[in-house]
Structure 1
């Protein structure tokens, strides 16, 4: 299949690489010369803008930071819709607002295209290893058409429901992950401040009911002070903003989510937005005047 891939960042580049390795033709639009040259050497056809990408391909994949970015790439000047051909599938793998997603889908369908929201979980490691969890919202026939592409990038692939269901699931995922990070951070901070070795505490907890992937990976990051981004804290903050915005619309109370969002906002305000989301621990450390490690 001829595929357009727009958004070749930390996640997008390895995901696109798996599609290339699977034999698909890949098109993108990159203005940064060194990266464009690197992609061309890998076999990516570089185009002038999203419209030019859409004019060449059967499926356009987006992997962008936020709702306004998707809006601009789809509907802005020289956007995807300017070059969209009837029957083209737009697959948004970004994590954005579910309500906006449904509006984007209607506008694409009105132009003769098809739409699927397919946000992912698994971070940079999952993108590199083609082991992402992919949560999809689409018509069944659209999902079946792109399923081979999804299988090249991920392992746990689920059609949750109609358009928007994928984004709803991703927001739920981000709530769970954020609260787990906060819980691990509080537990390790408590252990360290009380005089126990947080590394040994983590090791002990990994053998019990408190064991989790977050405790395993992000607990170790907190102890090692290793906050190079696998998933940027500012992006997780954005996802929690989506959760709280949706909760207000639904007249729903999400107190744990609000707590995690405030801690992430504190980190961003102190210059930590580009750190890994495990750096949430730094907001708690600042309030306690004590670090988990060192």
Structure 2
């Protein structure tokens, strides 16, 4: 397919590379000159204007940081959906709110476009390896049409509904992910203050019944005191707001999520906003009178 790719960020870059390697003709649009340069360094075609690029596009894939960026680049004045030809496939992979996604859906329907909600779950390394998990929702025909593109970056594709269910699914998973990491920080502080060596504590946690692949990955990073961001504290705070807002609209209590939101708030206020959200372990240790 001829694809216009919107957003060449940390996740968008390896995902786009996988799609290009799968044989699709891909052109990249990003508002950042630095990210456009990164695309050129990968020998990818970069477009400066969406209008001309979309005239030949069969599909649009967007990987954007938040609601405002998605709404601006997709539905805003001069946005992609204003210039796309009728019938184009739209695959939206960002973590955005249900309300923003509904606005995109309405604009796509007005252009008779197939709209697939396809938020992703996984690391930058997983994106590069094509082993992301993607939650998808939309009409069955759209899912089938999009499958060859989505499968370029995802080894696991979960169909969860025909409308906005994929947005809810991604927020639910992120709720569990951030709660797990915060509980790792608390367990680590408890163990080390209780006289257990850090490595022994983290090895035991990883080998326990709770030792999921993600927990082991974060425990290894904590052992190395490596807070290089795979997903920053600031980004997780954005997602936690989406979670709390979405839960409020559905009248679902997220008591643990509210507590973790405050932990991440304290972590950002402590100057760790650009570090991996695992940095919450440093704040939790500080509250217990210790340092990481």
Same-fold call, TM cutoff 0.5: yes
TM-score band w.r.t. shorter chain: over 0.9
Tell me what 1:85 maps to: 85
Tell me what 1:139 maps to: 139
Q: Is 1:25–2:19 an aligned residue pair?
A: no
Tell me what 1:159 maps to: 159
Tell me what 2:101 maps to: 101
Tell me what 1:173 maps to: 173
Q: Residues 41 and 225 (structure 1 numbering): CA distance in 2 closer, same or farther, change over 3 Å?
A: closer
Contact 2:202–2:223 (CA under 8 A) maintained in structure 1 = no
Tell me what 1:124 maps to: 124
Distance in 2 of aligned mates of 1:41 and 1:126: 21
Q: Is 1:285–2:285 an aligned residue pair?
A: yes
Aligned-pair CA distance for 1:37: 4.5
Contact 1:98–1:168 (CA under 8 A) maintained in structure 2 = yes
Question: Secondary structure of 2:279's match?
Answer: helix
Give the alignment of 1:128-277 within 5 angstroms. 128-277=128-277
* Deviation sequence 1:111-142 (CA, Å, 0-9, x none): 22121110001121211111000001111100
Q: Residues 96 and 38 (structure 1 numbering): CA distance in 2 closer, same or farther, change over 3 Å?
A: closer
Aligned-pair CA distance for 1:78: 2.1
Question: Secondary structure of 2:9's match?
Answer: coil
Q: Residues 41 and 234 (structure 1 numbering): CA distance in 2 closer, same or farther, change over 3 Å?
A: closer
TM-score calculated relative to the size of structure 2: 0.94
Distance in 2 of aligned mates of 1:149 and 1:41: 22
Distance in 1 of aligned mates of 2:215 and 2:40: 40
TM-score calculated relative to the size of structure 1: 0.94
Q: Residues 250 and 194 (structure 1 numbering): CA distance in 2 closer, same or farther, change over 3 Å?
A: same
Question: Secondary structure of 2:218's match?
Answer: helix
Q: Residues 284 and 50 (structure 1 numbering): CA distance in 2 closer, same or farther, change over 3 Å?
A: farther
Aligned-pair CA distance for 1:41: 5.2
Q: Residues 34 and 177 (structure 1 numbering): CA distance in 2 closer, same or farther, change over 3 Å?
A: closer
Segments of structure 1 that go 5 or more residues without pairing to the other structure are: none
Contact 1:121–1:133 (CA under 8 A) maintained in structure 2 = yes
Distance in 2 of aligned mates of 1:287 and 1:197: 19
Distance in 2 of aligned mates of 1:120 and 1:89: 18
Contact 1:121–1:134 (CA under 8 A) maintained in structure 2 = yes
Aligned-pair CA distance for 1:101: 0.8
Distance in 1 of aligned mates of 2:233 and 2:41: 32
Contact 1:135–1:170 (CA under 8 A) maintained in structure 2 = yes
Question: Secondary structure of 1:274's match?
Answer: coil
Give the alignment of 1:62-81 within 5 angstroms. 62-81=62-81
Contact 2:132–2:156 (CA under 8 A) maintained in structure 1 = yes
Aligned length: 292
Contact 1:202–1:215 (CA under 8 A) maintained in structure 2 = no
Contact 2:5–2:28 (CA under 8 A) maintained in structure 1 = yes
Contact 1:87–1:112 (CA under 8 A) maintained in structure 2 = yes
Contact 2:4–2:57 (CA under 8 A) maintained in structure 1 = yes
Question: Secondary structure of 2:126's match?
Answer: helix
